[in-house]
Amino acid sequence: MTYAHEIKVAIGAAGLVALTLGAPPLAADAFSTDWAKAAKSDARLVAASRTLAGFEIRLAPGAITYWRDPGDAGVPPTFDFSKSSNVAGVEASFPAPKRIREQDGSEAFGYDSDVVIPLTVEPSDPSKPVTLALEASYAVCEKLCLPARAKLELTLPGAASPDAGRIEAALAAAPRVVAPEAFAMTGDAAGGWRVCVAREEGAPRDLFVEPPSGWWVTAAPDRSDGARDCFAVAVRDKPAGAAPPVALRLTLTGGKAPVETTVVAR
């Protein structure tokens, strides 16, 4: 969902439990910053090249952090690159999420192990050095959800990075954009939709649906079709007066590789 019915982050305790550094950590080497430490997690910037970097989160055992859509309740990460030098734009490619059952029974979308979020950088002037200055906010949950912040700065090197291979692999493993025609969508009697895709070999599939702000939708497997992988998408809440058509961003995991697209649901 795009908003939380229950915000579990301990905002009042933020000053005690989240360590926010007043100045960016110095670079551990030419290819990464030092770790910015927070409760239950650390974070850093890692360079692959002058146009590719990664935001890496290292989680404590048993902790989770959130995808760009956090699920039933939680806080998605936010990235502010406005203080960077020679940067025209940065695109974050989130790895495919997992569906995680939290202790209170709610369902989170995110990661339960260390994660690298690739950052594709567009320089303003490709002939000049690029310095990424990032102020990141994210949440980490174990028994309690805690806010975390990292203030990081790294000049992306022209030399080959020892971390290039794993950042490039993370980028290659991110959901690939496909045409909306890859998804067959029909309306149902309850005001939701049935979404089907051609079946293929690989890991079990799951569907994550991102609606517009103010809408809350859920997706569950629909096994009534023996030839395709189908999901029932239900509307749990929406703004007063809102009605289809509505744009939905779909992320399909499992199978041979994760894919995503945006469809107009009618």
Residue 90 has pLDDT above 70, yes or no: yes
Record: fold of 177-265: Immunoglobulin-like (2.60.40)
Confidence of residue 10 (pLDDT cuts 50, 70, 90): very low
User: Is the bond into 24 cis (omega within 30 degrees of 0)?
Assistant: no
Question: Which pair of structure tokens corresponds to residue 205?
Answer: 């599939």
Spatial separation of the C-alpha atoms in residues 163 and 147, rounded to whole Å: 27
At the top level of CATH, which class does the domain 11-174 belong to? mainly beta
Question: What pTM value is reported for the model?
Answer: 0.87
- The per-residue pLDDT for range 217-247, each reduced to its tens digit, is 999 999 988 899 999 999 999 999 999 999 9
Question: Which pair of structure tokens corresponds to residue 114?
Answer: 């260390």
Torsion, Cα 195 201 203 204, to 10 degrees, reads: 40
Same topology for domains 11-174 and 177-265, yes or no?
A: yes
> What are the residue ranges spanned by the domains of the chain?
11-174, 177-265
Residue 88 has pLDDT above 80, yes or no: yes
- Contact status, residue 57 vs residue 114, Cβ threshold 8 Å: yes
Give residue 209's Cα distance to chain centre.
13
Q: What pLDDT score was predicted for residue 22?
A: 43
Residue 7 has pLDDT above 90, yes or no: no
